[in-house]
A and B are shown apart, each in its own frame.
Chain A
Amino acid sequence: MIYWMISLLAIPFFSFLTSQKLGSKAPEWATLLLGLNTLLAIYLTATHWNSAALTMRGHWFKVGESQITYSFLLDRLTLIMSVIVNFISLLVHLFSQEYMRKDKAKPRYYAFLGLFTFSMMGIVLFNDLLFIFIFWELVGLSSYLLIGFWFEKKSASIAANKAFIMNRIGDIGFITGLMILYTQFQSFDLEVIKSLMIDSEIKDGNWIAQFTNNGQVIINTLDGRWLSAAGIALFCGAVGKSAQFPLQVWLPDAMEGPTPVSALIHAATMVAAGVYLLARVFVILDAQALEVVAIVGAITAFMAAIAALSQFDIKKVLAYSTISQLGYMVMAMGIGAYTSGLFHLVTHAFFKAGLFLSAGIIIHQLHKLESKDVMFNAQDMRVMGGLRKHMPKTFFCFLIFALALAGLPGFSGFLSKDAILLDLAVWADIKGGGFYIPEVLAFGTVLFTSFYTLRMILLIFFGNFRLPVIMKNNELSKELKDGNWIMMAPVILLAGLSLGPVFGLTLNPEHSWFVEAMPTPIYLVPAIYAAKSLVNVSPETFEALHGLVNAVSMGLALIGIVIGYLAYKPNAKLEQEFVERREPRGLLGQVSFYHWYQDAFYTKAILKFVMLKAQALSWFDKHVIDGFVDGFAKSQVIFAHLIKWFDRYFVDGLVHLTVLTSGRIGQLTRSIQSGNVQAYILTSFVFLILLMLYLVF
């Protein structure tokens, strides 16, 4: 069994390792490997859907007394996520074969896609928070590598940095949460944490956990507030990864990456990892943490929907739309609507990936019109218009995706959004008071969503094709064609999956197979701290509000559509002057376009100080530390000169002295030999006489 799960991880990793080496064959190879992985995921789902959840645990390493383990979990959530991740990754691989056909760095691209899929599968398969964190970081790395894929472009590498750094800021919270949980439970394994959480209790405001570890009974006590803190801290990780307020500013900039990357990572999978994490730790979040989650989610959804209203760039609209929908999912988790949140995750993955891929087709086809005389930004909606006639298949699919996004009946988005809104209404009624604000924000977002969706459709597909008029070249209009089958197939497939009947032949989300398959779990947090679970609310309450919620949300969506149509229909005033628009108009326009001035705020308030500190540290490094090193080097050189002097005059001098002395002595003794034989004779006689005198006397 474990081999299947390891294969699910190993195949994308193998793709990562080998794609770079394969050069021009990389796209086909990577697509093949991912197709294999998708089949494996589907097979596992088919065989294990109705089985009980499977856990596999193993030891990794030991530090002193603490044992670090790893564990895999195979339950329905894992199966759904692995199918989604692999399937959308496969479609992106296929789509990229055409989209990136002319790019020279294709092997690197496919290698990184493989790395991403591997990391995402890691998050999904492991049930151990430490390992989820490891793969969390890997996913962030893959995102960085792929956003900055065209790193020669300065804006792309800056955007990649931004994404990674904001992710890391969120990870500070994630790590804090891990630390709190480990302090209390001495394990990272979610099963262990969950079971110990059930046994823990709150007494006099203290959170006490009691368990046995290696035969020893351990009682850990923390202040009760740490329980909420752990939940909020883990949520911080999701804030960073899933682009929630206040860390959502990286996602619009991440659109610098190739469009298929945006489809895979920043629409369907990576940003959903935060929601997935919330789903996994759902049962150990207490009421306080859940309130925070819900409010942040609602705020994010609202802010992003407003930001999408005035954008020119098609990918930016989709990016803000993603942030907004993620806000919905996070909010759903926060109000206890586990099932609805996951439902929306799944439907959103399909239609948002579809939206991005269709946008990719449009951008790709427009790029083909570029030449040295004709230069324009292919992502700018101001050059589009009337593409319905040129790209009918793309238009049809885009329409399906957009209607799913707006949440109109008959499409998958309707079911999931309706589920969330209903749960939200019930929650707001239970909580009362200020908690109606998230409800207002969420319903307001419905209005804006349908507005900006219709705005997008009208500006891109209706009216006249604006590019020939701008470029004064009517030939361009004839050259624009629809995408080829490699690009259309994934889009058509996703369009099929965005239709309502895929999730149930019903207009009531309760009867969808998804809702029945993924029930909301009960909270395992000690009862005093636990939130009131929606599971415990009677179905009658839900029924009573269902009609009202439906009516209001439908009404708002239709109002949004009507306003959008009136504003942007062909030959309307706004539509006519859209092509000339360079600056956003009015306060709402400016707040929307500049994304509530968050970037400006961060740059002025935070970035300035960080850069100052970085410059100060750089100065310190260059002058003090390097100065110290240079000074040390210089003093060494001086010391070396001193030693040289000493060596030359003293040590060598000693040697010279010795030599001189020997020489002189030698000369002295030599001088006795004069070569004069007569002197020799004389000397020898003298000594002979002396000797005889000595002998005689």
Chain B
Amino acid sequence: MPFDYLLFLGALLFCIGLFVVVTRKNAIMVLIGIELMLNAANINLIAFSSFDPNALQGQVFSLFIITVAAAEAAVGLSIVVKVYKYFQTADLDKINELKG
């Protein structure tokens, strides 16, 4: 299998994740998008780990990323809950108090 296909897959996932982040109304969908982007980065890492003689470094780093992603998802969710409690809505279009 050509190596490029793995990279394309990573890029594709990343773009889909970005698209989801940018487009979705719901804050939780944005979180999902972020997860997708993280996982895309994981795929990239694992793809490149095949060049390592021990085929370890990329995969270990992926493990770290998965852990961080989990923690970050928890924190992100708590922030969303807080924001929801303040704004009474989860619709991102309506949360624009930072408007200049």
A670 within 8 Å of B (CB atoms): yes
Pairwise interchain contact B22-A675, C-beta atoms closer than 8 A: no
Docked Cα-Cα span, A677 to B22, in Å, equals: 9
Q: CA A670 – CA B24 in complex, angstroms?
A: 24
Instruction: Give the docked Cα–Cα distance between A140 and B95 (Å).
Output: 103
Q: Are B22 and A678 in contact (CB under 8 A)?
A: yes
A677 CB to closest chain B CB, in angstroms?
A: 6
Least Cβ distance of A468 to chain B in Å? 115
Q: Once the chains are docked, how many angstroms separate the CA of A672 from the CA of B98?
A: 11
Contact of A673 with B99 in the complex, beta carbons under 8 Å: yes
Contacting residues, chain A, for B93 (C-beta < 8 A): 676
Shortest distance between the CB of B99 and any CB in chain A (Å): 3
In which size bucket is the chain A interface?
10 to 19
Residues of A within 8 A of B100 (CB): 670-675
B52 interface contact, C-beta 8 A: no
Is B78 close to A, CB under 8 A?
Answer: no
Bound state CA distance, A685 and B20, in angstroms?
14
Question: What chain B residues lie within 8 Å of A682 (beta carbons)?
Answer: 22
In this assembly, does B45 line the interface, its C-beta being within 8 Å of a C-beta of chain A? no
Task: Tell me the nearest residue of chain A to B24, going by C-beta.
Answer: A678
Answer whether residue B30 sits at the interface, using C-beta atoms and an 8 A cutoff.
yes
Q: Which A residue's beta carbon lies closest to that of B93?
A: A676
**A484 and B15 alpha carbons, distance in the complex (Å):** 137
- Shortest distance between the CB of B33 and any CB in chain A (Å): 10
From residue 510 to 557 of chain A, which have CB atoms closer than 8 A to chain B? none
A676 touches B92 (CB 8 A): yes
A656-672 interface bits toward B, Cβ cutoff 8 Å, 1 = contact, 0 = none: 00000000000000111
Tell me the nearest residue of chain A to B30, going by C-beta: A678
- B54 interface residue, CB < 8 Å from A? no
Option from B23, B98, B99 in Cβ contact (under 8 Å) with A678 = B23
Tell me whether A675 and B30 are in contact (CB under 8 A).
Answer: no
In whole Å, how far is A693's beta carbon from the nearest beta carbon of chain B?
15
A424 to chain B, nearest CB (A): 121
Contact A677 B95, beta carbon cutoff 8 Å: yes
| B96 on interface, CB distance cutoff 8 Å | yes
Q: How far is the CA of A677 from the CA of B34 in the complex (A)?
A: 14
A681 touches B (CB below 8 Å): yes
B98 contacts which chain A residues (CB < 8 A)? 673, 675, 677
Chain B 13-46, CB within 8 Å of chain A: the 1/0 string?
0000010011110000010000000000000000
Whether A677 and B92, one on each chain, are in contact in the complex, defined by CB atoms closer than 8 angstroms, is yes
Interface size grouping (class) on chain B: 10 to 19
Residues of A close to B99: CB separation below 8 A: 673-676
Instruction: Please tell me if the beta carbons of B97 and A678 are within 8 angstroms of each other in the complex.
Output: no
A676 to B23, CA, bound (A): 11
Q: Report B93 CB to chain A, min CB distance, Å.
A: 7
On chain A, the residues within 8 Å of B96 by CB distance are 674-676
Give B6 Cβ to nearest chain A Cβ, in Å.
20
- Which one of B21, B95, B97 contacts A681 once the chains associate, using CB atoms below 8 Å? B21
Q: State A368–B68 Cα separation when bound (angstroms).
A: 132
Question: Are B92 and A685 in touch, CB under 8 angstroms?
Answer: no
- Do residues B97 and A675 form an inter-chain contact, with CB atoms below 8 A? yes
Residue on B nearest A677 in the bound complex, by CB: B92
Cross-chain contact B18 with A685 (CB below 8 angstroms): yes
Name which residue of chain B comes closest to A679, CB basis: B22
Residues of B within 8 A of A676 (CB): 92-93, 96, 99
The residues in A between 554 and 590 inclusive whose CB is less than 8 angstroms from any CB of B are none
| Residues of chain B with a CB closer than 8 A to A679's CB | 22
Interface digits, A679-690 against B, CB 8 Å rule (1 contact, 0 not)? 101100100000
Interface residues in A470-518 (C-beta closer than 8 Å to B): none
CA A676 – CA B99 in complex, angstroms?
A: 7
Most buried by A among B18, B22, B92, B93: B22
Hey, which chain A residues are within 8 Å of B24, CB to CB?
A: 678
CA distance A685 to B100 in the complex (A): 21
- Assembly CA distance A600 to B100 (angstroms): 100
Determine the distance from Cα of A234 to Cα of B28 in the docked complex, in whole angstroms: 125
Contact A678 B18 (CB under 8 A): no
Cα of A675 to Cα of B30 in the assembled complex, Å: 16
Q: Which residues of A contact B23 (CB under 8 A)?
A: 678
**When chains A and B are docked, how far (Å) is the Cα of A678 from the Cα of B92?**
8
A624-683 with Cβ < 8 A to chain B: 670-679, 681-682
Least Cβ distance of A411 to chain B in Å?
122
Instruction: Tell me the nearest residue of chain B to A669, going by C-beta.
Output: B100
Chain B residues whose C-beta falls within 8 Å of the C-beta of A672 in the assembled complex = 100
> How far apart are the CA atoms of A177 and B31 in the complex, in Å?
122
> Complex formed: what's the CA distance from A675 to B96 in Å?
4
Q: Which of A672, A678, A681, A682 has the most CB of B within 10 A?
A: A678
Task: State in angstroms the CA–CA spacing of A676 and B96 once bound together.
Answer: 5
Given A673-B98, A675-B98, A677-B98, 7 additional A-B pairs, CB 8 A: A671-B100, A673-B99, A674-B100, A675-B97, A677-B92, A678-B22, A681-B22
The 10 listed contacts between A and B (C-beta, < 8 Å) are: A673-B99, A674-B99, A675-B98, A675-B100, A676-B92, A676-B93, A678-B23, A678-B24, A678-B30, A682-B22
